Amino acid sequence: MKHTDQFFDALTKRALEEGLLRAALIRVEREGVLLFEESWGYAYWSEDEKTPLSSDHQFDLASLSKLFTSTAILKLISSGEIEEGTRVVDLLWFRDSTLRAALKEVRIANLLDHSSGLPPWFPFYTRLNESFESILADILVKQGLKKETLYSDINYMLLGSVIERLSGKNLREAMRDLVFEPLGLRRATYDPEAARTVATEFGNRIEKRMLAERGLSFDRWRRDDVLIRGECNDGNCHYYFKGAAGHAGIFADAADVARLCRVYLDDGQSASGDYLDLDLLKVAVCNRGADRGYGFQLGANYPGGGFGHTGFTGTYLHINPAADMTITVLSNRLHLSQARNIDEYRRAVSKHALALFSKKNSNTERRSF
């Protein structure tokens, strides 16, 4: 049964009026049953067109894509293809001796929970004619590995390569076979129809500033007067990896995001049977340090406990096992003249969803992974 809710309505309308968001969709499920879904604002806003947001629009998930990638890796571990302790260099067979030496102790687990020490970010697209291996080797010669947990896109770029190597397929095909189809995801894709997607920025304004701050240049930017729509916003994914990478690139609607969640609330089971090993799942969602699990984030952004992730474009997922709830917020915070931090909005949605729905109509025993 769907509910309407005055708090969500007032909160989101205020966020729209204050210029935090151009559009937002909130979806709340409990025990796999849809309790609430509503959308506000515009999926696309220009002088010539204003398209109201609807529940079947697909969002650029940005870093929520990492949860799809980590799920694929966990599936490969559950199937016995690799282990958490498998060395990355034994899978990717880097030819560069410097890179092999730098990464010799980095394991799959270190990529999953961001404890590898790899730098958080580098614009690989500024060196389009060079291989990922050679650029990464150069980065590590100059910066080295840090002895701390650092949230890093590069970890998940490498995991995308691991998926391709083990599956013998490109990432689009591998993710379809490992995650999208087995979990019944109906619209998740790297290649959406533009008309059904939610717009993000006018060009890559933010990444342009990031490059300028680092004294770097790039001459193939998308136009600043044209909204990005149907293409991933992330520069590395779009320019360097051609739209499909381990750290970004997936488009989906809120229903598909919620379907991905269910395997973590149903003890690793999918509709077709065993999917993830239960003991591995329990490890994946625990705090392994610095509020990181295998793909998941924990901590202040997930009030009431549980785990989830955020995405740069304005996306958010909170899985709360104690209430058997998933809270999905998809927004397009970049589709404005100035992008602003929306964590307070995300947390407010999550707190209210838990307070409103967590004690209603439940016969399920509470969980605590």
- Is it the case that residue 2 has pLDDT exceeding 80? no
**29 bridge partner residues:** 34, 326
Q: How large is the average pLDDT for residues 171-188?
A: 98
Enter the tokens of residue 369.
């992974």
Distances (CA, A) of 87 to 82, 162, 171, 345: 9, 11, 20, 40
Q: How large is the average pLDDT for residues 171-176?
A: 98
Side-chain half-sphere exposure of 141, counting CA atoms within 13 A: 10
Enter the tokens of residue 114.
């961001």
- Is it the case that residue 67 has pLDDT exceeding 70? yes
Element containing residue 76 per DSSP (H, E): helix 65-78
- Is it the case that residue 23 has pLDDT exceeding 70? yes
In degrees, rounded to 5, the angle at the alpha carbon of residue 310 between the alpha carbons of residues 91 and 184 is: 65
89-125 pLDDT, tens digit per residue, is 999 989 999 999 999 999 999 999 999 999 999 999 9
Enter the tokens of residue 74.
């966990």
Domain boundaries defined on the chain: 69-74+81-168
Q: How large is the average pLDDT for residues 262-281?
A: 95
Contact 27, 255 (CB under 8 A): yes
pLDDT of residue 368: 52
Enter the tokens of residue 3.
């509910």
% pLDDT > 90, the chain:
92
Q: Encode burial over 265-293: b for 16+ CB neighbours within 10 A, e otherwise.
A: bbebebeeeebbbeeebebbbeebeebbb
Residue 369 pLDDT grade (very low, low, confident, very high; cuts 50, 70, 90): low
Residue 366 pLDDT grade (very low, low, confident, very high; cuts 50, 70, 90): very low
Distances (CA, A) of 362 to 32, 89, 122, 302, 321: 12, 47, 46, 21, 13
- Is it the case that residue 1 has pLDDT exceeding 50? no
Contact 71, 179 (CB under 8 A): yes
pLDDT of residue 358: 74
Residues 6 or more apart whose CB falls under 8 angstroms from that of 158 comprise 88, 92, 111, 118, 246
207-242 pLDDT, tens digit per residue, is 999 999 999 999 999 999 999 999 999 999 999 999
> Per the confidence metrics, is the pTM higher than 0.75?
yes
Rounded Cα distance between 223 and 93, Å, is 38
Q: How many CB atoms lie within 10 A of CB 325?
A: 24
- Is it the case that residue 288 has pLDDT exceeding 70? yes
